[in-house]
Structure 1
Amino acid sequence: MARTIEIDDAIWEQLCEQARQLGCDANALAQNLLADSLQQKHALTQQLWDEACRLLNEMSSAQAHPTASEARPILTPQLLNQWLSLMNRLIRELDIAPESIEADITAAFDEYRRVS
Structure 2
Amino acid sequence: MRGGKPMSDIPNNSGFHVRADTRGRCTTLHATGALDYGSSPLLKEQTDAALEAMDHPRLVIDLTEVTFCDSTGYGVLMYALTHVRRLAGSLILVGTSAIMRQRLNRLGVGELFDTRSTVEEAINAFPATG
TM-score normalised to the size of structure 2? Answer: 0.22
Higher helix share: 1
Q: Which is richer in strand? A: 2
Larger Rg: 1
